[in-house]
């Protein structure tokens, strides 16, 4: 009887811990530099490092503007300005006149303002690929799931429906 009770208690504790682990760590206080406007913004962010060492970061400013910052590690067109397409399953987000900034010889960066409803798309679909200057950078299913996870946490923190 005691063994059964202990096993049931451990099982319930395990399920409870898994339910709590979804957003750890959640969004944290951060700053974001917008190179095109030479501005430093304050707010909160959450990020994920992908398999190929690319990074996806969601940022909310103190005045409720939303930004997506992507560090990429392939398909470089440093300092080129072109249309950026972020694919999320069958949906796409387009950002005209986007510049790919050079961080170092192996890393480029995009910083763009996004709409709050696009955060909802990210939580449902993740990011499946990024297209810039006719070069496509695909994300793995695991990477898309990781983006979905951080987007879900971010969406909940900004007051979205669960």
pLDDT at residue 13, as a whole number: 46
**Which residue is it, tokens 């979905």?**
148
CB of 155 closer than 8 Å to CB of 117: no
Whether cis (ω within 30° of 0) applies to the bond prior to 25 is yes
Structure tokens at 55: 């990074």
pLDDT at residue 143, as a whole number: 95
Instruction: Give DSSP secondary structure letters for 124-141.
Output: HH---EEEETTEEEE--H
Distance of CA 34 to the CA centre of its chain: 17
pLDDT at residue 18, as a whole number: 41
Q: What is the DSSP letter of 149?
A: H
pLDDT at residue 57, as a whole number: 96
Q: What is the CA radius of gyration of the chain?
A: 18
Bridge partner list, 67: 59, 113
DSSP H or E run through 136: strand 135-138
Tell me how far apart the alpha carbons of residues 18 and 15 are, in angstroms, rounded to a whole number.
5
pLDDT at residue 6, as a whole number: 44
CB of 63 closer than 8 Å to CB of 46: no
pLDDT at residue 26, as a whole number: 83
pLDDT at residue 111, as a whole number: 96
Fold of 28-157: Immunoglobulin-like (2.60.40)
Mean pLDDT of each 10-residue bin along the chain, 162 residues long: 48 43 77 93 95 94 95 89 95 95 92 93 94 91 95 86 48
């Amino acid at each position: 009887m005691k063994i059964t009770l202990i096993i049931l208690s451990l099982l319930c504790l395990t399920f409870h811990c898994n339910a709590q682990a979804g957003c750890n760590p959640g969004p944290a206080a951060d700053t974001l530099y917008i190179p095109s406007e030479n501005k430093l913004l304050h707010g909160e962010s959450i990020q994920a490092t992908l398999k190929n060492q690319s990074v996806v970061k969601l940022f909310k400013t103190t005045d409720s503007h939303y930004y997506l910052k992507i560090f990429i590690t392939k398909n470089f067109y440093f300092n080129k300005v072109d249309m950026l397409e972020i694919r999320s399953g069958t949906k796409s987000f387009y950002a005209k006149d986007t510049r790919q900034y050079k961080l170092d010889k192996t890393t480029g960066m995009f910083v763009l303002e996004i709409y709050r409803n696009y955060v909802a798309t990210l939580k449902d679909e993740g990011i499946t690929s990024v297209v810039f200057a006719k070069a496509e950078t695909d994300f793995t299913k695991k990477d898309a799931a990781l983006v979905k996870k951080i987007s879900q946490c971010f969406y909940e923190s900004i007051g979205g429906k669960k």
